[in-house]
Chains A and B, each alone.
Chain A
Amino acid sequence: MLKKYKDDYFSDNVQFILTDNQGIVLESDQSFLKIEIGTPMEEVHPFFGSISAVQELSENTTFFNCVQLGKNAMERIVDIEMHKKKEGVLVMVHDLTDHYVSYQAIAQSRNESIINSELVVLKNLELQEREKFKNQFIRNFSHELRNPLTSIISITNILRSTDLSDEQKKMIDFLKESNSNLKIMLEDILSIGMIASGKLHLDHKIFSLSDLLELLRFTYSARAKEQNLTFNLDFGTKVPEHVEGDRLRIYQILTNLLDNAFKHTKEGSVTLSVELNQKWANRASMRFSVSDTGAGIPKESIQAIFESFHQIETGNGDGSGLGLPIVKGLLELMGSKVQLISKLGDGSKFYFDIVLKEPIHTLATTKRNKETVANYQKKKSLSGAAKYKILLVEDDEKVQMLLFKTLLGAKCFNIDFESDGAKVMQTVLQGNYDAIIMDVSLPNVNGDHITRLIREFPLKQIKKIPILGLTANAYADDIALYKKAGMNILMTKPFEEEELLNSVFKLVSN
C-alpha cells in the first residue's frame, strides 16, 4: 500500500528525463512535462540550454534550486538535478510549486517591509535636509537684513533730531513706527528659526512680574484707546510679585497673544488675566489667559493657526503669521502648552499654565533704576575730564558714518576710525583708547579674532581695553563665541541710538 502511495506521489511530482550529450531527449517519463523523444531540451525550456555547461563540469551531479519554469511549463517552480550518465545526462525535475509559493509570500512581506522602512528613513532624511535648509535660509536672511535696517533706524533717528516741519515730523514718526514693526518681524522670524533648530535657550533670571504686567497695561491701554476697545488686566492678588524665569520670552508670548487679540477684535474688549493655580515649596503654577470679544476662530482652523506663516481669513491680512507658532514653540520650551477656546463670532480665549520659581530673596538689581544716557552725559560734563577716546572699527561706510554721528552727538567722545581688520592691532597700539567699538565681520581679519589678539597682548593697558562688539549674527551660539573671544558687550544689529550710547557709556564708566 505504502509503495503505491509513494509511486503516486513521485509520478505526480518528479519527472525523469534522459538526454544525450547534446541535450536531445532520449527518454521521458512524461509525469508533468509532455516532451517528445528526439526534441532538443533547449526547446522544452530555455533553462535546459545549460545542460551543455553542466557536461563540461567535473562534478557528476549539479543541483538547481527554485527554478521558475514559467508559462512554458504551467507556472511550475521546481528543483532540478542533473546527473552525468554514460548515455548523457539524467535530468530529474522535482515540482515544489506549493512549497515555493508559500516561501514567496514570506519573501514578499519581508522585502516590502525592508523597502518601506528604507523609504521612511529616506523621507525623514529629506525632511531633515529641508528643515536644515530652511533654518539656514532664515539665518542668512535675518543676517543680511540687519545691516540695512541698522542704517534705516539710525538715519531716521538723525533725521528726527534735525529741523523739520510738523508734517515732516509726522512722516518720520510713521517711518519710526514702521522700522519698529520691521524689527519685531525680523526678531519673530529669527525666533521661529531658533525654536525649530533647537538653538533657543531660556535665560532664567529673577524679575518683577508685576512690573512686566504694568508695562503691558501701559502699552495695550494706549492701543485699546486707539482702536476704541477696552483693555482689562486681571492680576490675582495671590500671584507672586517676583518670579524666576525668562522675562523676555514670557513678554514675547504675552505680546504675541495680545497683538493677535487686538488684531481680530473690532469692538468690545481684550482681557489679560493672571491667576495663581497653586504654590508648593518655592514654586508657583500660574495661569495666563488672553481673551477677546473678536471674530472667533472656526473649528477647522484651530489646529492650523499654530503652524508657521498661517493666517485665517478674517480680512486682517497684516502680520507674518508667526506670532502663534512662536507662542506654541516657546511654551513647549517651558514645558507648557497653549490652549484655545473659541467659537466663530463669539471671541477667543488663549491660555496656558506655567510653573515658575518664586525667589526667597529678590535681587536688588531688579529694582535698581538703570542709568540713562542723560545721566552719564551729565556726570561726564561735571567731572571736567577729557572726552573718552574711542576706536570705531567698521568697514561699512554708511554704518560707520551713522555710528560716528550718534557718538559725536553725545558730545563725550573723540573718535578714530579703522575699517581693515588687518590694521586694527597697529592702530590700537598707537592710540591709547578708552574703548573699542568693533564690527565682528571685517575684511581680512574678523573682529572676534582681533579681540582674542588684544586679550592675549602682554601690555595690561592694551589687553584691558573694553570692547563693544557689533554683529548681525543674532544666534546665541555666535554671541557666546564672541563673548568667549573677550568682547565685553555684544549688540545685535539693528539697534536704537539710545541703546548704543547706553552700552558705550556703560563700557567706559566701568
Chain B
Amino acid sequence: MRVSKKIVVLGHFGVGKTSLIRRFVEDSFSNDYKVSIGVHITKKVVEITAGNQVSLILWDLEGTDDLSNIRDSYLLGTHGLIYVFDVTRPSTFENINGDLRIVGEKLPNAPKIVVGNKVDLVVPEDLDRLLQRQGITYDYLSSAKTGGMVNDLFLHLAKMLSSDAKKI
C-alpha cells in the first residue's frame, strides 16, 4: 500500500532546509549557500513497514523571518510540516514560539517536527545550555552536512502521517 503525503519544510532563510531535503533525497551536500526562492518540490518514497510505503512530496519553501508572509496556496493540502532553525544563528530561533503559533494557526491539524540544524558547527554542551536558557524545545538536532539525524526526522514524520492515514 502506498499513500502520498505533502510535507512543507519552512523556517528562516539560510537555516539549511534545502540541504536537509537534498541530504534526505539525494544523500548529497554542498557547502555553497544558494538561496531558494518560491517553492521547490521533490519526492521520495519511504517504506514504513514491510509493504507500507509513503510517498513524501517535499515542499521546500523560500525562507522568511516572518512566517505570516507565506503564501496560503503553498500550504494547500499539507499533511505535515518540518520547522527548521539554525543552531548557530540565534535570530532563527529567538522567536520560535511565535513562528510555531503562526504555523499552527495556518495548519491546525498538521503534525509537525521542529529541527535545529547545523549541529556539526557547535559544541553540544554549549548548545544544550543555550537552548535551555532560551526555553527552546525541539524534536531533532540535525546536520545536513554529516547526515546526522536527517533520515530519522523525515522517517519519524512519515510514520506519524502513516498512522494518521490508518486512523482515517
Contact = CB atoms under 8 A, between A and B. Distances in A.
Q: State the main secondary structure of chain B at its contact with A.
A: loop
Contacts of A52: 77
A100 interface: yes
Given A49-B57, A53-B77, A65 B38 contact: yes
Interface stretch (A111-119, A162-170, A451-459): A111-119
A317 interface: no
A100 B73 CA distance: 18
**Which of B39, B63, B71 has the largest count of A CB atoms less than 10 A from its CB?**
B39
B71 A46 contact: no
Interface in B59-118: 62-63, 71, 73-74, 76-77, 88-91
A448 to B, nearest CB: 33
B166 to A, nearest CB: 20
Contacts of A45: 41
Nearest to A56: B77
B73 A64 contact: yes
Interface in B16-47: 33-43
Given A50-B6, A53-B76, A66-B62, A115 B38 contact: no
A56 B57 CA distance: 19
A68 B39 contact: yes
A60 to B, nearest CB: 14
A64 B72 CA distance: 9
Interface string A64-94: 1111101000000100000000000000000
A104 B37 contact: yes
A122 interface: yes
A427 interface: no
Nearest to B57: A46
B154 interface: no
A410 B136 CA distance: 65
A369 interface: no
A282 interface: no
B76 A118 contact: no
A66 B38 contact: yes
A107 interface: yes
Nearest to B90: A122
Given A66-B39, A67-B41, A68-B40, A108 B34 contact: yes
Given A115-B14, A118-B89, A62 B73 contact: yes
A254 to B, nearest CB: 45
Contacts of B43: 46
B52 to A, nearest CB: 19
A54 B76 contact: yes
Contacts of B34: 108
B35 A108 contact: yes
A1 interface: no
A275 to B, nearest CB: 54
A103 interface: yes
A100 B38 contact: yes
- The size class of the interface chain A forms with chain B is 20 to 34
Given A112-B33, A115-B14, A49 B4 contact: yes
A47 interface: yes
Contact of A46 (B33, B41, B63, B73): B41
Contact of B40 (A49, A53, A70): A70
B37 A103 contact: yes
A238 B89 CA distance: 61
Contacts of B88: 122
B42 A46 contact: yes
Contacts of A42: 4
Contacts of B62: 66, 107
A115 B33 CA distance: 11
Interface string A95-135: 00000100110011001101100110010000000000000
Nearest to A96: B38
Given A111-B14, A122-B89, A62 B42 contact: no
Contact of B35 (A46, A49, A54, A104): A104
**Which of A45, A50, A107 has the largest count of B CB atoms less than 10 A from its CB?**
A50
A161 B37 CA distance: 84
Contacts of B40: 68, 70
A63 interface: yes
Contacts of B57: 46, 49
Interface in B109-164: none
B33 A64 contact: no
Nearest to A52: B77
Contacts of B73: 62-65
Contacts of A70: 40-42
Nearest to A71: B42
Nearest to B78: A53
A57 interface: yes
Nearest to B40: A68
A119 B38 CA distance: 25
A70 B73 CA distance: 19
A65 B71 CA distance: 9
A118 B86 CA distance: 12
Given A45-B41, A68-B39, A70-B41, 20 more contacts: A46-B43, A49-B4, A50-B76, A52-B77, A62-B73, A63-B73, A64-B71, A64-B74, A66-B38, A68-B40, A70-B40, A103-B37, A104-B37, A108-B35, A111-B13, A111-B14, A112-B35, A115-B13, A115-B33, A122-B90
30 contacts: A46-B41, A46-B42, A49-B4, A50-B6, A52-B77, A53-B6, A56-B77, A57-B76, A62-B76, A64-B74, A66-B38, A66-B62, A67-B38, A67-B39, A68-B37, A68-B38, A68-B40, A70-B42, A103-B37, A104-B35, A107-B37, A111-B13, A111-B14, A111-B33, A111-B35, A114-B13, A115-B13, A115-B14, A115-B89, A122-B90
A-B complex: 9 closest residue pairs judged by Cβ atoms: A66-B38, A53-B77, A68-B40, A46-B43, A108-B35, A53-B76, A47-B41, A107-B35, A46-B57
